[in-house]
Structure 1
Amino acid sequence: MKNLNHILYAITLSALSAASFAKPATEASVEKALKLSDIRGALAQSQQDMRPVYDLQAEEMLKNIFKTPALNAEQQKAARQIAEVMGSFSNQLISDPKFMQMIKAVYMQTFSEEEVLANIQFLETPLGQSINKKSSKMMSEIMRNSITMSAQLMQDPAVQREMNRKIEKILKPLLQADSAQ
């Protein structure tokens, strides 16, 4: 039994010491990983890929506002303008240097230096570059499909009624308090 305790103690000590020796990611290695992953290019491509999503969101928003299954020509024009505003705002966000700093900070909080270096090593290979590009495209496709599925779900009158009922329940006390003032 005493031998088993010594073994467990040694294993625990090894695990704790290995975890405590994991170096935090350095800014230099994170910058290299982000450059190799072409994060700026991926963000730009994502913005381009998101345009149909913004169009769909704007259309759905106006359909809900006007309580109509289809938009007339004037409403469609307004939807395109709203989609343009959404895209412009998103472009402004990802162009802000603070946005890239935020990505670096999250990367540094998430990965150890060893993990970043392993990712760099992987991204320096043709296979790593191929997977990186395809992953970015895949995430854009997942986002696009998710929004399409969500919009389709919101077309269901039962879902709309349930959503409206829940939102009204949440807003009712606020509206009553506001009207009392």
Structure 2
Amino acid sequence: MFKKTITHFILACVCCYSFSQTALATPAQPASVQELIRLSNAEQLVKEAVKNYAPYFQKHSEQVIKDYTGHQTLTEQDQVAAQKISKIFVNTVEVFLQQAKPIEIIQNIYTKQLSEEEVQAYIRFLKSPEGQSINKKMPIILQQTVQQINQATEKLTQDKKFQQQMTQQIADVLKPLPKKAPSK
């Protein structure tokens, strides 16, 4: 009986605590979220992310040219074409981002996921010397992250065993499907 009473008491305390946390949380205010986005340099981080993919786009463009021309070493004309294709990739991503409106997306996510109290705490942090220091380092952290992920991905995709496994897995999936009749 005593054990049951304590269990009910603990359960009631947990429920009350959870309810009080939910009830006390004020919805994030649009002006506060906008200040948070401004202080976190979200727009700059999005632009940096696109810029960080430029080397990847260049390498991919060069590979497209090599596959198309059969050249192992790019000629001057090939290099110009690869740069143009790379620019097309970058421009396409920029257009997609403009249409996707990432800042609005971030704003909506912050508004839904964070309370006003959490937004204010984050703003205080970003205004602190430590927050400003970390915030200034974020583009570098993101750039290095992208570079290292790209290097690891490139290394993996160039691995012959990995390529064979992927090819076999894809072949296994395609095997039961009807093949297109050869064109005459």
- Greater than 6 Å deviation, 4+ residue runs: none
Matching residue of 2:74 = 72
Q: State the Cα distance separating 1:129 from its structure 2 match.
A: 1.4
1:132-154 deviation line (CA, Å, top 9, x unaligned): 12123212211121112111211
Contact 1:29 1:113 survives alignment (8 Å): yes
CA deviations 1:29-71 (Å, max 9, x no partner) are: 11100001111122223322321122233345556x56x7945
Report what 1:108 is aligned to.
Answer: 111
1:21 is displaced (CA, Å) by 2.8
The answer on 1:141 being equivalent to 2:144 is: yes
Cross-structure match for 1:14 = 17
1:46 equivalent to 2:49? Answer yes
The amino acid of 1:72's aligned partner reads L
> Which of 155, 167, 172 is the matching residue for 2:170?
167
Alignment equivalent of 2:59, drawn from 56, 60, 79: 56
Which entry has the higher C-alpha Rg, 1 or 2? 2
Amino acid at match of 2:128: T
- TM-score (ref. length: structure 2): 0.79
- Give the aligned CA root-mean-square deviation in angstroms: 2.8
Aligned match of 1:24: 27
Contact 1:58 1:82 in 2 (8 A): yes
Q: Which moved more, 1:74-83 or 1:37-46?
A: 74-83
Read off the aligned partner of 1:119 and give its amino acid letter: Y
Are positions 1:86 and 2:89 aligned together? yes
Note if contact 1:24-1:113 (Cα within 8 Å) is conserved in structure 2: yes
Aligned residue type for 1:11: V
SS of the residue aligned with 1:135?
A: helix
For structure 1, the 5+ residue unaligned runs are none
Secondary structure of 1:122's aligned partner: helix
> Conserved in 1, the CA contact under 8 Å of 2:28 and 2:116?
yes
**Structure 1 letter corresponding to 2:9:** H
Q: Is the 8 A contact 2:42 2:103 kept in 1?
A: no
Identity %: 27
Change in 2 beyond 3 A, CA 1:160/1:25 = same
Provide the TM-score with structure 1 as the length reference: 0.80
| SS of the residue 2:19 aligns to | helix
1:34 and 2:37 correspond: yes
Segments of structure 2 that go 5 or more residues without pairing to the other structure are: none
Aligned counterparts of 2:104 and 2:146: Cα–Cα separation in 1:
23
CA distance in structure 1 between the partners assigned to 2:164 and 2:118 by the alignment: 48
Change (3 A) 1:173 1:79: farther
CA contact (8 A) 2:52 2:146 kept: no
Query: 2: CA distance between counterparts of 1:146 and 1:55?
Result: 16
